[in-house]
Amino acid sequence: MELYELTIHELQAKLRAGETTAAEVTASVFRRIDAVEKDVRAYISLMRKSALAEAARAEEQLRKGEAGPLAGIPIALKDITCTKGYRTTCGSRVLDNFIPPYDATVVEKLRAAGAVFTGKTNMDEFAMGSSTETSHYGTTRNPWDLGRIPGGSSGGSAAAVAAGECIASLGSDTGGSIRQPAALCGVVGLKPTYGRVSRYGLIAFASSLDQIGPFTKDVEDCAIVMNVIAGYDPAESTSVPAEVPDYRGFLGRGVEGWTVGIPQEYFVAGIDPEVEAAVRRTITLLEGAGARCVEISLPHTRYCLAVYYIIAPAEACSNLARYDGVRFGFRAEGSRDLIDLYKKSRSAGFGAEVKRRIMLGTYALSSGYYDAYYKKASQVRALIKRDFDTAFASCDAILTPTTPTPAFKIGEKTDDPMQMYLSDIFTISANLAGIPGISVPCGFSAAGLPIGVQFLAGHFQEGRLIQIASAFEKLAPSEKRRPAL
């Protein structure tokens, strides 16, 4: 088995035992990138030179016994997280030449833990998409079937882990952008509670919804990364000073005596039969392990999509107003005056989906429509949160499909925005309520495409998610498949 195929915890054991070196692990990952990146296209930019230096530094720390929890582990970063001295594009032409003067807090934490950064991964432009097809830098392909999408918006981060082009990665999740691509690429993806992980240095899409989280090969690795990135950050105004447990302590505990809610609204017409069958098998396995699975109702679920596509575009149009061709980023040439500069820079700098959402958001916030749209959506959002609060009063966790279908073909939904938006129908609610969610592989379709199951828990209950996800991981039939790249 090659080093790039191993998990974080497997590599940690080898590194600490002196069976391999950080340089060898990093070299293995870059050889894999050289072999498959031309097909997968998971990265926008690579950080090969600095990665070798970071590996050497990690190796020195390992020799001295001063190594952090991620020493020598190659990790990729979604290209929406600021990296000092390295280009951060958000998958957009408008930021093609943007080099941040500082690191995001999560980058600082990973660096302090000894991580080796392999590069910046591809994404839907400004995280607006469900397939990584809106990126200015081209479409990332699903490692399980190169003719299919990897999910989005963090498709590059998910594909890189699935393809062995890094050991773990970070993504961001505004409406499912970690969990949905994790399910479609057959990896683990966790969206933490809003406020659990600092957003400082995360380029904003929708500020009340965005959250950073990990993609990993298994649940134990997810716990390891969460131990590093979670915690209060005084530099970030929405960061919550809540105690952070040792997430590895939740591994292997089991779910005997748990009550798991199965929301009837998530098993609806349109869900792929193979997805539903895989999720139903998950329910059976958990019941066999001593959990009590009960049907529950989240009655305002049917409004989630409408609420999300008012609130998210409204916040996006406000956040993206800063890209004006004046202060930083792309600037159009030959403008007659300031207004012409704004118009030309934004028209040429933004892609079609970003423009669509700016227009939707501007309309929802416009005079005479604010109360009818944004205010009403915010009120319904409160009801959606209340549904979850009520459910968690009687349930330890909630179980749902992560996505309605396995990965679809590239180009299949690009001409139908509504069908594309429906790809996130099972994940949006967690962002609106601010609760954590995790997607774990639960099987494969007849065509060999991964399927994911989603677990949801109450605010700041990531440990509970790791507990049920790791319990299921041990119960599930072992399918050690890898993409045939």
Annotated catalytic residue 78:
yes
Peptide bond into 153 cis (omega under 30): yes
Q: What is the 3-state secondary structure (H, E, C) of the chain?
A: CCHHHCCHHHHHHHHHCCCCCHHHHHHHHHHHHHHHHHHHCCEEEECHHHHHHHHHHHHHHHHHCCCCCCCCCEEEEECCECECCECCCCCCHHHCCCCCCCCCHHHHHHHHCCCEEEEEECCCHHHCCCCCCCCCCCCCCECCECCECCCCCCHHHHHHHHCCCCCEEEEECCCCCCHHHHHHHCCEEEECCCCCECCCCECCCCCCCCCEEEEECCHHHHHHHHHHHECCCCCCCCCCCCCCCCHHHHCCCCCCCCEEEEEHHHCCCCCCHHHHHHHHHHHHHHHHCCCEEEEECCHHHHHHHHHHHHHHHHHHHHHHHHCCCCCCCCCCCCCCCHHHHHHHHHHHHCCHHHHHHHHHHHHHHCCCCCHHHHHHHHHHHHHHHHHHHHHHCCCCEEEEECCCCCCCECCCCCCCHHHHHHHHCCCHHHHHHCCCEEEEEEEECCCCCEEEEEEECCCCCHHHHHHHHHHHHHHCCCCCCCCCC
Phi/psi region, residue 126 (left: phi>0; alpha: psi -120 to 50; beta: rest), is: left
* The one catalytic residue among 78, 120, 217, 413: 78
- Beta-carbon count within 10 A of 451 CB: 28
* The one catalytic residue among 130, 153, 172, 239: 153
* Angle at 176 (CA atoms; ends 418, 391), nearest 5 degrees: 105
Annotated catalytic residue 153:
yes
* The one catalytic residue among 157, 177, 429, 445: 177
Q: Which residues are catalytic?
A: 78, 153, 177
